[in-house]
Amino acid sequence: MAAVRANVRPFKTLDLYPTRSAPPRTCTRFRCSVAAPPRPRSYSVTLLPGDGIGPEVVSVAKDVLSVAGSHEGIEFRFRVMPIGGVAIDSVGVPLPEETLAAAKESDAVLLGAIGGYKWDGNEKHLKPETGLLQLRAGLGVFANLRPAAVLPQLVDSSTLKKEVAEGVDIMVVRELTGGIYFGKPRGFGTNDKGEDTGFNTEVYSASEIDRLARVAFEVARKRRGKLCSVDKANVLEASMLWRKRVTMLASEFSDVQLSHMYVDNAAMQLIRDPKQFDTIVTNNIFGDILSDEASMLTGSIGMLPSASVGESGPGLFEPIHGSAPDIAGQDKANPLATVLSAAMLLRYGLGEEKAAKRIEAAVMETLNRGFRTGDIISTGMTLVGCKRMGEEVLSSIDSQKALTASL
Ligand X SMILES: NC(=O)c1ccc[n+]([C@@H]2O[C@H](COP(=O)([O-])OP(=O)(O)OC[C@H]3O[C@@H](n4cnc5c(N)ncnc54)[C@H](O)[C@@H]3O)[C@@H](O)[C@H]2O)c1
Ligand Y SMILES: CC(C)[C@H](C(=O)O)[C@@H](O)C(=O)O
Catalytic residue numbers read 181, 232, 264, 288, 292
Q: Which of 302, 314, 315, 349 binds ligand X (CB under 6 A)?
A: 302
Count CA atoms within 13 Å of residue 167 on its CB side.
6
Partner from ligand X, ligand Y, Mg ion, none contacting 10, C-beta within 5 to 8 A by type: none
Q: Rounded distance, CA 40 to CA 108, Å? A: 13
Structural contact between residues 297 and 335, judged by C-beta atoms closer than 8 angstroms: no
Q: Write the DSSP symbol of residue 278.
A: S
Which residues between 351 and 380 bind ligand X (CB under 6 A)?
375
Rounded to 5°, angle at Cα 384 from 379 and 389: 120
Task: Please state the closest distance from residue 81 (CB atom) to ligand Y, in A.
Answer: 18
Residue (239 or 334) nearer to ligand X, CB: 334
Residue (85 or 274) nearer to ligand Y, CB: 85
Q: Which of 69, 147, 322, 351 binds ligand X (CB under 6 A)?
A: 322
Task: Please state the closest distance from residue 271 (CB atom) to ligand Y, in A.
Answer: 19
Structural contact between residues 65 and 77, judged by C-beta atoms closer than 8 angstroms: no
Task: Please state the closest distance from residue 257 (CB atom) to ligand X, in A.
Answer: 32
Burial level of 91, CB count in 10 A (0-12/13-18/19+)? middle
CA-to-CA separations, 43 to 35, 79, 352, in angstroms, rounded? 20, 11, 11
Residues in contact with ligand Y, counted by CB under 6 A, come to a total of 7
Residue (83 or 256) nearer to ligand X, CB: 83
Q: Rounded distance, CA 102 to CA 114, Å? A: 18
Residue (144 or 283) nearer to ligand X, CB: 144
Pairing verdict, β 382-383 and 371-372: parallel
Q: Which of 63, 129, 169, 202 binds ligand Y (CB under 6 A)?
A: 129
288 binds ligand Y (CB under 6 A): yes
Stretch that binds ligand X, among 86-94, 99-107, 109-117, 363-371 (CB under 6 A): 109-117
Stretch that binds ligand Y, among 75-83, 127-135, 339-347, 368-376 (CB under 6 A): 127-135
56 binds ligand X (CB under 6 A): no
Pairing verdict, β 196-199 and 187-190: antiparallel
Q: Which of 301, 339, 345, 362 binds ligand X (CB under 6 A)?
A: 301
Phi, psi at 402, each rounded to 5°: -60, -40
- Give contact residues for ligand X (rule: CB under 6 A): 53, 113-116, 129, 132, 301-302, 318, 321-327, 333-334, 337, 375
